[in-house]
């Protein structure tokens, strides 16, 4: 039996047309619809690739295995297989949250597939360390895992407003809670552990591509110190701090994020 194409497993969609392909990769707890504010505008000038990571959105859950997806490198392999299947090279890759390091790992592995990277609210390590502020202490993460195991939907409802970080925009928390709640709880817990236990600080200097680090002014999941760390440890990176708060600036300040992507994609 022929293996299912990755484009079908990951529900890949291509919008628009143009010489440059912009790949939009979503973060934890969301799917490709997280880019609903950016994709139509970007597709007016460029070809845009959207997809769901395995275990998220409308991806083929029968292809998900916690043994296979034990690290972000597994998702990076998926990304490379998807780009290979679609014969895409020299793409502008935009990765939110967990997808930031997924794209970085993929670009280090196969540099020709990428031209530039945009890391939106990305982090190489979420756990605090000596001389490094990741944003979470060990007790924070252990409590998060327990809450997910005890009552997943109650956890999602409480976690969403903390992460979206815009109390005057309850719609953002409501949308994120619904997106989180749509995940299969066992997959969500496994993916959360993969993300929050990861440490890719050593991979940052290996990235040779021009990189834009987009960072909110206040993000409980990714402190601004992390954005500064990324920009100072990726050789060709620049940091842009958005006039936005929360971990979902592509929702809370969509026009800013879209403009930043278009400007960076067009720059020499």
Q: Which residue has the higher pLDDT, 255 or 8?
A: 255
- Does residue 240 have a pLDDT over 50? yes
Percent pLDDT > 90 in the chain is 94
pLDDT of amino acid 81:
95
Tokens of 267: 């720059």
How much is the pLDDT for 149? 97
Residue 244 has pLDDT above 50, yes or no: yes
What digits encode the pLDDT tens for the residues 32-82?
999 999 999 999 999 999 999 999 999 999 889 999 999 999 999 999 999
DSSP state of 25: E
Region 247-263 average pLDDT: 98
Taking only the tens place, the pLDDT of each residue in 153-198 is 999 999 999 999 999 999 999 999 999 999 999 999 999 999 999 9
pLDDT of residue 5: 78
Q: Is the confidence at residue 1, as pLDDT, over 50? A: no
List phi, psi (to 5°) of 116.
Answer: -145, 160
Active site residues: 97, 219, 247
Q: Return phi, psi of residue 264, to 5°.
A: -70, -40
pLDDT given at position 6: 72
Element (H, E) at 77: helix 72-85
Residue 2 has pLDDT above 50, yes or no: no
- Per-residue CA distances from 146 to 181, 192, 216, 244 (Å): 16, 12, 28, 30
Which pLDDT tens digit goes with each residue over 90-123?
A: 999 999 999 999 999 999 999 999 999 999 999 9
The pLDDT of residue 4 is: 58
Can you tell me the mean pLDDT for 8-13?
92
pLDDT tens string 15-25:
999 999 999 99
Tokens of 183: 């995940």
> Sign (positive/negative) of CA torsion 39, 196, 247, 66?
positive
């Amino acid at each position: 039996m022929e293996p299912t194409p990755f484009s079908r497993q990951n529900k890949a969609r291509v919008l628009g047309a143009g010489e440059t392909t912009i790949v939009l990769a979503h973060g934890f707890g969301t799917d490709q619809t997280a880019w609903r504010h950016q994709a139509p505008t970007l597709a007016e000038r460029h070809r845009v690739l959207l997809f769901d990571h395995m275990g998220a959105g409308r991806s083929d859950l029968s292809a998900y295995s916690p043994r296979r997806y034990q690290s972000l490198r597994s998702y990076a392999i998926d990304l490379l297989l998807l780009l290979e299947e679609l014969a895409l090279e020299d793409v502008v890759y935009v990765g939110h949250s967990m997808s930031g390091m997924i794209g970085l790992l993929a670009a280090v592995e196969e540099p020709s597939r990428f031209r530039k990277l945009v890391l939106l609210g990305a982090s190489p390590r979420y756990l605090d360390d000596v001389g490094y502020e990741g944003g979470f202490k060990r007790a924070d993460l252990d409590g998060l895992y327990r809450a997910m195991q005890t009552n997943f939907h109650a956890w999602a409802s409480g976690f969403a407003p903390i992460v979206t970080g815009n109390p005057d925009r309850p719609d953002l928390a409501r949308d994120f809670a619904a997106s989180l709640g749509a995940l299969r709880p066992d997959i969500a817990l496994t993916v959360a552990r993969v993300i929050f236990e990861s440490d890719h600080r050593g991979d940052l200097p290996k990235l040779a591509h021009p990189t834009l680090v987009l960072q909110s002014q206040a993000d409980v999941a990714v402190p601004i110190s992390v954005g500064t760390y990324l920009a100072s440890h990726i050789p060709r990176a620049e940091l842009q701090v958005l006039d936005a708060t929360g971990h979902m600036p592509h929702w809370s300040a969509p026009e800013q994020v879209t403009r930043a992507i278009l400007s960076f994609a067009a720059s020499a």
